Amino acid sequence: MSNIQTKISQAKSKLLLSHPFFGAVAAKLEVVQNDDIQSFKSNGIKLEYNSDFLQKLEPAQMEFVFANGAMHASLAHEERKNGRSGWLWQLATDYAINDMLVQNGLNRPDEAHYSKRFSGMYAEEIYAELKEDILRDELEYEADDVDDMQESKKEQNTPQNEDILNEQLFEEFAKAKLEDEMKSGEAPLCIGRFFKISSEGKIDWRNELRAALDRHHKDDFTLLPPSKKFLYKGIYLPSCISKRFQLVVAIDSSGSVDEKLLSEFLSELNFLMLTIPNFQIDMFVCDDKIRTHKTFWGGDTLEADIKGGGGTDFRPVFEFVDRELSDVKLLLYFSDLDGIFPHDEPNYEVKWIAPKERDVPFGTVIMLE
C-alpha cells in the first residue's frame, strides 16, 4: 500500500472512532486521485483529491476532507437541486456542510470553503445569498476555479440514471446510520439542516412546507447569455433569469384557530420568505368572508392582522383567486378544516395546513405537530 493510501486508511479509521456517523459513511465513499484539481472536491458520487494536497494535510484535516465527502455523497444532490444552477448549488451545499463540520469540532483545511457569514444557514439560504451577490455584481467568488466550473457545467447536463440511483442508495444508507446515532444520542450537531428524519412515522410539517414551496420556486441561472462581468478574462459565469415566485396564503380567522400554531406557521413562512429573494405573496384573512387582503413582495417582512370570528367558508378566497389573480401555482390555507369547501377543484396545488388530520375534497393536508 502506498504512503498516500496508508494516510487515507488511517484518517478514515480515526474518523470512525472520533465521529462515528461521518466515519461510517466515509467508509463507503469512493475516493479517486485526480491531480488535475487543486485540492479536493465531491460531487455526490465520489471524492476526488490532489495527491500533493492530501500529502501535506495533518491527519485531523484529512478527517475533515473525508467527512465533507461523506456528507456530499449522502445528500442526493441531483434530487435536491430542483432546477437550481448545478455549480452554485454544490458551492452553497459545501459552505453549509463545512460550517456544520466546524461546529462539530473537525479541523478545517484552509482550502475548504467556509465563511462565518453563512454560519447556521441552510444550503437553500446560502444559495439565495450567493445568487444575490452575483446579481449585484459585488462579489468575485474565491471558490470558483474556472476549470472546475467549466467541468461542472458539462457534468450538469442530464445525469445518468445509474448515478441518480447511487445517490439515492447512499442517502438511504446515511439516513439509516443517522437514525441509529439519534437513538443513542450521538448524532452530530446541526445535522438536521441536511436530513429529514422520521420519528415514529410522523412528518415534520416544516419540511413538508419547505418541500411544497421549493417545488414551485423556479429561479435559476443560464449560460445563454453569460454574465458580462468577467468575459474580458475569458470566464463564463452564468447570468440570472429570475421568475417571480407567486404564492397565495389564506388564514382561517373563524375563532377556532389555535393562536400558538398560527404564530408558528407565520414565523416559518417568514423564514422561508428570506430564502426566496423574488416573490409575490397574496395573503388573505378569511372567516365566512375575506376580512383583509395584503400583497408582500421580495424583501418584505411577513405581517398579518387577524380579524374575524365568524363561521368558516373557504369559497371566498378561491373565488377571488380565480377572478383576480393569474399564474397561481400554489395556495397554502391555514385552517382547522371545519368549514364549507368549494365544489370544484382548482387548477393549482392546494396545501391545507391544519392542527389535525381531516378529509378534504382536494389538495393535501400538512399536519401541524
Q: Tell me the pLDDT tens digit for each residue of 79-122.
A: 566 667 677 888 888 899 999 999 889 999 988 888 888 888 88
Band of pLDDT at residue 345, cut at 50, 70 and 90 = very high
Which stretch of DSSP H or E encloses residue 101?
Answer: helix 86-103
Pair (282, 336) in one structural domain: yes
Q: Give the pLDDT of residue 216.
A: 63
Q: What is the pLDDT of residues 126-140, one digit of tens each?
A: 888 888 877 665 444
Is 65 or 76 the better-scoring residue by pLDDT?
65
Average pLDDT of the segment spanning 134-157 = 45
SS3 state at 205: helix
Is 289 a residue whose pLDDT tops 80? yes
Examine the fold and report which residue of 186, 201, 216 is the final residue of a domain before the chain moves on: 201
Pair (119, 51) in one structural domain: yes
DSSP 342: P
Contact criterion met (CB below 8 Å) for 108 and 114: yes
Burial (CB count <10 Å: 0-12, 13-18, 19+), residue 315: middle
**CA distance linking residue 272 with residue 124, whole number of Å:** 9
Q: Provide the edge-to-edge strand list for the sheet that holds 47-49.
A: 31-33, 47-49, 40-42
The percent of residues above 70 in pLDDT, for the chain, comes to 69
SS3 state at 346: coil
Contact criterion met (CB below 8 Å) for 237 and 230: yes
Examine the fold and report which residue of 137, 172, 201 is the final residue of a domain before the chain moves on: 201
Is 243 a residue whose pLDDT tops 80? no
Band of pLDDT at residue 181, cut at 50, 70 and 90 = confident
- Please indicate, yes or no, if residue 81 is contained in any of the structural domains: yes
Cα 132 from chain centre:
16
User: What nine digits make up the cell of 49?
Assistant: 483529491
Is 314 a residue whose pLDDT tops 90? yes
Pair (192, 298) in one structural domain: no
**CA distance linking residue 229 with residue 144, whole number of Å:** 14
Q: Give the pLDDT of residue 126.
A: 87
Q: Give the pLDDT of residue 340.
A: 94
Is 125 a residue whose pLDDT tops 80? yes
Q: What is the pLDDT of residues 265-281, one digit of tens each?
A: 777 677 767 666 677 88
Task: Say what the pTM is.
Answer: 0.50
Q: Give the pLDDT of residue 350.
A: 92
Examine the fold and report which residue of 134, 169, 201 is the final residue of a domain before the chain moves on: 201
Band of pLDDT at residue 43, cut at 50, 70 and 90 = low
Pair (193, 269) in one structural domain: no
Is 148 a residue whose pLDDT tops 60? no
Q: Give the pLDDT of residue 101.
A: 92
CATH of the domain at 355: 3.40.50.410
Pair (281, 187) in one structural domain: no
Q: Tell me which amino acid residue 249 is.
A: V
Band of pLDDT at residue 183, cut at 50, 70 and 90 = low
- In the chain, the N- to C-terminal Cα span, in Å, equals 53
**CA distance linking residue 349 with residue 217, whole number of Å:** 13
Pair (52, 160) in one structural domain: yes
Is 201 a residue whose pLDDT tops 50? no
Number of domains in the chain: 2
Burial (CB count <10 Å: 0-12, 13-18, 19+), residue 157: exposed
Q: Give the pLDDT of residue 369.
A: 64
Band of pLDDT at residue 320, cut at 50, 70 and 90 = very high
- Please indicate, yes or no, if residue 237 is contained in any of the structural domains: no
Q: Give the pLDDT of residue 361.
A: 94
In this structure, of 104-118, 209-223, 281-295, 298-312, the range with the lowest mean pLDDT score is 209-223
Pair (8, 117) in one structural domain: yes
**CA distance linking residue 311 with residue 301, whole number of Å:** 29
Write out the residue range of the structural domain in which residue 311 sits: 244-367
Burial (CB count <10 Å: 0-12, 13-18, 19+), residue 290: middle
Cα separations (Å) of 215 from 81, 82, 265, 347?
10, 7, 19, 16
Contact criterion met (CB below 8 Å) for 286 and 250: yes
Q: Give the pLDDT of residue 367.
A: 82
- Please indicate, yes or no, if residue 226 is contained in any of the structural domains: no
Contact criterion met (CB below 8 Å) for 87 and 152: yes
Long-range own/partner contacts, residues 24-33 (CB < 8 A, 24 or more apart): 24/177, 25/70, 25/71, 25/73, 25/74, 25/170, 25/173, 25/174, 25/177, 26/66, 26/67, 26/69, 26/70, 28/73, 28/170, 28/173, 29/66, 29/69, 29/70, 29/73, 31/66, 31/69, 33/4
